Structure 1
């Protein structure tokens, strides 16, 4: 197993592009928008590999039936992850990789099913009616510090620093009486794809505020020629319904594994 140098990340770009199930954070690493580590079976012409980001998210890519590499991955898990890291969340693109985790990693992980969607851009920008006494704002440093959901810990885990998010990420929120009541940010941004993370304060649900911040976020993506992305647990019916309202369709499912 070889650790790729950042200057060689381009060697796996086509492998990542070959699967719709490749998560946004994988492209964020390869495009060097966020820091990560990339391990492959061959440093010159890789065909299998995995990458990791600070938050503890992993993605395995390429051929899932390279036994030598799979053994190296298992040793890496035993020596560097199990009992040492709090988070080990693995995104998989194929049944070959699923078979590896279903069998070899079975004592340590549990399987979950995720849903990933394609976005169908509208012919004209989406419009919405914001209720009176509410304000729609772009995320800034003050809103980040005032957010209960997308706070400093969240930003550092996924972006490395607040300044890096403010420079390269996207975020909008609805304000009521100086409080954030709905918010939508790019949990990941690859340069061309922005993955949505969205939360509405439970006391304000049922007013369509989640849809409003989602629409505004998408409008900003389209202005920048960035494709919005939506990914959620397969059993999260509320998230799936909101995805549909915002123009996401053609659902594809994949397996994700987390520590037991």
Structure 2
């Protein structure tokens, strides 16, 4: 298992584009737009690749190379020298060692979604008016401090505050001038955006998240960027919200592994 340098990412990126299960957070590392680590079975023409975002989201893709999977098993389950405190592993394709019974406790289920751009719930002219005199703002650099103070996410995925302001398409919901909810892209890659949405506890059940997501979708579609959504199947609030604003499932739920240090 060889760690690639950024100058060696191109072949791994090409392999990923033909893989099928596409996650912008993974593609952003492969594009060297966000920080992370990439490991492959070889440098020149990799057959199997493991990508790990600095925040911990990760994916394995390519055809099975036994020696590579053996080294990856040691890295994930024995040495555990992750970039973050835990690995959050997307596994539409599951390495053999994670299919063993002793790994079942690491597994949960997630569902991948893509926006239906023709759906009126996502693209109607009216974003929707949330309750309690709330307002929606297309966030820019002037809102970064407020977003960071309220949600602490500015540096979670993006390298710099400027990257967040310029590329996340963030929509901020304000109530009486106070930050209440946020919808933004954790990553944008290959003309697809990975949605993250948060509402502070005091402002939940007011329609703020739904209105912010709808405006976020409109911002993305105006730039020919397709919003994607991914969440745990037992997160009923997230599952319900995304479908209520026009997202459709991409295939069946898939296994997701959380591996702590």
Smaller-chain TM-score range?
0.7 to 0.9
Displacement of 1:80 in angstroms is 4.7
1:253 corresponds to: 253
| TM superposition score normalised by structure 1 | 0.86
| TM superposition score normalised by structure 2 | 0.86
1:160 corresponds to: 159
Aligned to 1:175, what secondary structure does the other structure show?
strand
What does residue range 81-230 of structure 1 map to in structure 2 within 5 Å? 81=81, 86-94=85-93, 96-97=94-95, 99-103=96-100, 106=103, 110-122=106-118, 125-126=123-124, 127-131=126-130, 133-147=133-147, 150-151=151-152, 154-230=153-229
Displacement of 1:212 in angstroms is 0.7
Q: Distance in 1 between matches of 2:222 and 2:106?
A: 40
Q: CA RMSD in A?
A: 2.5
- Asked if 2 retains the 8 angstrom alpha-carbon contact of 1:48 and 1:69, the reply is yes
Q: 5+ unaligned residues in a row in structure 1: which ranges?
A: none
- Asked if 2 retains the 8 angstrom alpha-carbon contact of 1:198 and 1:210, the reply is yes
Aligned to 1:117, what secondary structure does the other structure show?
strand
Q: 1:258 to 1:129 in 2, by over 3 A?
A: closer
Displacement of 1:104 in angstroms is 8.8
Q: Distance in 2 between matches of 1:27 and 1:232?
A: 18
Give aligned pairs, total: 253
Displacement of 1:105 in angstroms is 7.1
Q: Distance in 1 between matches of 2:102 and 2:54?
A: 21
Aligned to 2:75, what secondary structure does the other structure show?
helix
Q: Distance in 1 between matches of 2:183 and 2:140?
A: 12
Aligned to 2:103, what secondary structure does the other structure show?
coil
Q: Distance in 1 between matches of 2:84 and 2:79?
A: 11
- Asked if 1 retains the 8 angstrom alpha-carbon contact of 2:214 and 2:245, the reply is yes
Report Cα offsets for 1:119-175 as digits up to 9, x if no partner: 211277322232473221122345333336632xx3223112212211222201111
- Asked if 1 retains the 8 angstrom alpha-carbon contact of 2:150 and 2:179, the reply is no
Q: Distance in 1 between matches of 2:186 and 2:208?
A: 19
